[in-house]
Chains A and B, each alone.
Chain A
């Protein structure tokens, strides 16, 4: 993690599609809110500027009080969240199609169905909070500020220079790292948390419990989030976990189960947990959600009417991600060190093969 914010990360080959991203200190959200309102002008929507909704209460573990069940939000925010969720859904549909058309190679884990998790959590975080997740990362990458072209070009392995990540890390068993990142935030005296995401499948890895112990021992501001979509790879939770109440599995780490299909519930739970984690140390959220992909490769977009503008925006990004030139071989050796000397070279397969590195 030695990348300076000013550096442009050249998107690496489809390799980096797969796994976790730590995306911190990103540029501001790429979608201007005013644009959304503009896009919806002329349609017969409510003009109420703010509304309050009741959400389901969370199941609690070692907590006396949970998040509010009454959640208010402004019209602008509501439209913004809706737009984000629609975009993620459409992006994943297109990503699925690109995969089927072999523009995306390797593996492709889609987020369709889980949009409320990333959009809801991001809504309660700031750009200085850290997020680390695993391979089902497209939605998260987008809401953290990477453009549509950025995400899709990363998947297709094209040379679109749009991703401005200050930190990018790629891991599968990223959970203990989240505890480490949270420790760093605390150590640096920052008012921020590290949201550490994993799935119900990874919940059975021993490293998870090691991470819980470290995090609680040192009371670091970590929010562990189990995105429980019902299946770890192809095995259902009931067949893989002796205890499927994932929010209780932190033992000494308190937790809650939130309706992961309700963006407002997720947002409120995240707000509550950030506050809690900064004061008391780690906390666990189980977001009960569901993924449509894997269920079927047929177009999940048919379940939801996607806004024409969103559709157009995603199509344009996909076109760019398809048509941009492929990353050249020379680029494979770039972006290893920050500001390397002008004549810096990196060894290839053999010591006799040296490549220049910028």
Chain B
């Protein structure tokens, strides 16, 4: 089971990916749309469902897909998050590639029980007789423009605590999971982020170079669980400093886990507090 948290406000272009063959520059939303498009075209068992996905979804992620693949494969669900996820688990168990959209990550909590107690443990509790590995739950996280309550939180840490789930903040079907990407190389400090914070950190890199003459190495974590310790650790060993940026709350977040891991194993993390003071929202 995959939990894919994409960034609702990420209408900016993705960082360039090094791939072979023809490439097109897309926004993150377009890239997700494109990825689902490819899955639906290549996998006849694939279905997409969620609140208002049929007309294209509130973020236009599923635009044109119903027209292309029909109402029986791209369809609206009632406003019932528990139902959406549980339905997806059942569907995936029966062999279908199911893509369930939760319109905002903040809406996901009625489905929390299904994700934690059903989906993530399905393979284990059936002795590998069944599994729901074909289920992907997509949900936008982070601060959408002025979204306020029920539309702005970053609850990814809740799911990182659950064995059995792979969690990716941004994703392309071609990318390996659990592999971070060094976007910009530098020597003085390692900056780690995921989602919209990667864009923010890009600006930080430029600013730090111009104003402080500090050379930053920027890493897009890409997968939150399991996260790519090796890439991050290598970088931190080189730079000796780590700064992690995330939008989610300060306490017990992914930030604290990642930074403490680094501290524990590599004994380098003087940037930790800086990160929290400045970046935690």
Contact = CB atoms under 8 A, between A and B. Distances in A.
B55 interface: yes
B151 A107 contact: yes
A14 B54 CA distance: 29
Interface stretch (A50-58, A231-239, A266-274): A231-239
A105 interface: yes
A350 B54 CA distance: 42
B266 interface: no
Interface stretch (B77-85, B124-132, B184-192, B202-210): B77-85
B276 interface: yes
B273 interface: yes
B145 interface: yes
B101 interface: no
A18 interface: yes
Nearest to B148: A15
A95 to B, nearest CB: 15
A128 B91 CA distance: 48
B281 A349 contact: yes
A233 B51 contact: yes
B149 A18 contact: yes
Contacts of B78: 201, 204, 232, 235, 240-241
B150 interface: yes
B76 A240 contact: yes
B147 interface: yes
Given A240-B76, A240-B78, A14 B148 contact: yes
Contact of A349 (B54, B55, B146, B250): B250
A233 B148 contact: no
A170 B149 contact: yes
Interface residues of B, number: 28
B230 interface: no
Given A201-B79, A233-B79, A234-B55, A349 B110 contact: no
B80 A350 contact: no
A356 interface: no
Contact of B150 (A18, A204, A205, A239): A18
B150 A19 contact: yes
A108 to B, nearest CB: 10
Contacts of A17: 148
Interface in A11-54: 13-19
Contacts of B83: 204, 206
A123 B250 CA distance: 46
Nearest to A352: B277
Given A204-B83, A232-B78, A235-B76, A18 B151 contact: yes
Interface in A210-265: 232-235, 239-241
B52 A349 contact: no
B17 to A, nearest CB: 32
A206 B148 CA distance: 24
Contact of B277 (A202, A206, A241, A350): A350
A353 interface: yes
Contacts of B273: 350, 352
Nearest to A349: B280
Interface in A155-179: 170, 172-173
Interface residues of A, number: 30
Contacts of A18: 148-151
A205 B110 contact: yes
Given A234-B55, A235-B51, A349-B250, A106 B147 contact: yes
Interface in A338-355: 349-350, 352-353
Contacts of B107: 172
Given A13-B148, A349-B280, A206 B55 contact: no
B149 A15 contact: yes
A280 interface: no
Contacts of B82: 205-206
A323 interface: no
A22 to B, nearest CB: 14
Nearest to A241: B78
Contacts of A298: none
Interface of A: 13-19, 105-107, 170, 172-173, 201-202, 204-207, 232-235, 239-241, 349-350, 352-353
5 contacts: A105-B145, A105-B146, A202-B79, A240-B77, A349-B280
Given A172-B107, A353-B277, 19 more contacts: A18-B149, A19-B149, A19-B150, A106-B151, A173-B110, A201-B79, A204-B78, A204-B79, A205-B82, A206-B83, A206-B110, A232-B79, A233-B51, A235-B54, A235-B78, A241-B78, A349-B277, A349-B280, A349-B281
**What are the 4 tightest A-B residue pairs by CB atom distance, in nearest-first order?**
A105-B146, A15-B148, A106-B146, A204-B78
